Amino acid sequence: MASTTMTGQAFFVLTALADGPRHGYGIVGDVADLSQGRVKLKIGSLYGVLDRLAAEGLIEPDREEARDGRLRRYYRLTSDGRQALAEEAELRVATARVVRTRLGLAGGEAAG
Amino acid sequence: MKDDGQDLEDRYRRVLRVLPGYYRDQWEDDMVAAYLDSRVTGDEAEDEYVAEFGRPALTEVASVARLAVRLYLGGASTPRRYFAWGQAVRRAVLAVTLVHAMAGLDALVLLDWNRRMVSWLPAPPASLASVTPVGVLPPTVWHLVDCAWIVTLLALALGHYRAARFIAAAAIVPNLIWLLYGEFTGTLATLAIGPWAFWILLNLVPVLAMAAFHRDAPPAARWPWLVALPAGYLLVAVPLMVVKATGNGAWLPDNSGLLCLLVMLACVAHAPRALSRRTAVSGVWSLTLTLLAALAGAYRIASLNDYRRDPHLIAVGLVELLIMVAAVTLVVTDAGRTQAATPPPPHPQLS
């Protein structure tokens, strides 16, 4: 389990793996899509995050596939990773709800 | 035609050589595959051109360099030798920051004393007059620098690394301005290497080395470093102040000599643990002291140039250096033991 606060990059990488295994560049593309282009992971940054998540037991290698003479390694969430992502998502939803309430936007917590 | 006989993959692999070997064994091929994928445009001619003549973008190189710093100055999940280096650099940075903070506290106490902020204290002797560097910057800036180092130490000890980096980076700017102003106006002595060595070795290097306080770094031992400031002030700054107050300041070593003597005392104090080889953690402190000795030694040697017309002071400086080197030999073997290669941490392997 993650013992420290999850970074934005780690959150997006775990989210990219939530619906199935992906290889390195697949994660980069999915993170860019998920963040609407705001998070553009460099390869050095991506593998820093993957290394940390693997060390924390949140992701693991899934399989390797050969393409264009190169091996692509796919990664998947572990059960701990799935749980950590769910907890982080809950936290972010709750935070967003408070923000919407304080800003007086629809979808915030009911006053009372 | 390729000018270096290499293609994009070779060039990217060459960039990846800055990463530790254990990490490359685990991730290099995967990183290369992902990187080459990221350069594919779908246009066959352009892809061929990029594959042959393309070079990794500076932003990609920078991301690999940042990763290398994080791995070499590692956290708890890196192999022991890199963790030891990381811890040693972090402690050395804390120690240098502590020295700056002690000097800053000393300067602020003297300022308050000279301004008679505490009415019941007698007026300080003339030898303890509060002084700030003469030049383009007003005294207030130097007082803020003194405060900034104290705040930097507190921020590092309390785990506010980003704030510490920002404040320390700001704190070293006035000294640089003062040096540049002195060089351009001629108020700095010709070939004054000492002040520049001070700025580079004890201002710039520690600020750059604060990169070791990254996300994976374990938190510093909070209370020992917080207590070290008042303790160090009482044990080092106050005795120095007493010597100056009694008119014996001429006997005191200069800044670099004082640093050499402080490192020497720390080495002697640590030597029993280092020589007993009973504690595994002693090696990190030995490595820390070796790093500090290298820093103080380099500063001592560089600042000797400022005494080139006084052979007596050069001899004194060399004696200070030799005493410190002799003390460091007590811990350097223990420091070397932390460098013994150890197996990489267990990473999940593809089954």
Contact B34/A61, CB-based, under 8 Å? no
What's residue B5's pLDDT? 60
SS3 A20: coil
Percent of chain B with pLDDT over 70: 92
- Give CA torsion, residues B131, B135, B139, B144, to 10 deg: -110
pLDDT 10s digits, A76-88 = 999 999 999 999 9
**pTM recorded for the entire structure:** 0.85
Whether A70 has its CB under 8 Å from any CB of chain B: the answer is: yes
Mean pLDDT for B137-151 is 94
Contacts of B319 (CB under 8 A, 6+ apart): none
What's residue B41's pLDDT? 85
Angle between helix B80-114 and helix B238-245 axes, rounded to 10 deg: 40
Give the CA distances from residue B330 to residues B117, B172, B216, B295, B323, in Å, rounded to whole numbers and listed in that order. Answer: 45, 33, 31, 17, 12
Tokens for B292, please give them: 């500090």
Place of tokens 């030597």: B271
The CA distance from A44 to A42, in Å, is 6
Interface test with A, best of B37, B50, B64, B161 (most A CBs within 10 A): B37
What's residue B4's pLDDT? 60
pLDDT 10s digits, B231-272 = 999 999 999 999 988 888 888 899 999 999 999 999 999 999
Whether A73 has its CB under 8 Å from any CB of chain B: the answer is: yes
Q: Which residues of B touch A25 (CB under 8 A)?
A: 33-34, 37-38
The CA distance from B155 to B301, in Å, is 32
Q: In a 10 Å sphere around its CB, with 0-12 CB exposed, 13-18 middle and 19+ buried, how is residue A66 labelled?
A: exposed
| Domains of chain A in sequence order | 8-101 (1.10.10.10)
Whether B70 has its CB under 8 Å from any CB of chain A: the answer is: yes
The CA distance from A38 to A43, in Å, is 16
Evaluate if residue B299 carries a pLDDT over 90: yes
Q: Which residues of B touch A49 (CB under 8 A)?
A: none
Asked if residues B157 and B94 have their Cβ atoms less than 8 Å apart, the reply is: yes
Measure B350 CA to nearest chain A CA, in Å: 6
Instruction: Give the nearest chain B residue to A48 (CA atoms).
Output: B67
Mean per-residue pLDDT over chain B, rounded: 88
The domain ranges of chain B are 8-69, 77-247, 253-341
pLDDT 10s digits, A23-58 = 999 999 999 999 999 999 999 999 999 999 998 999
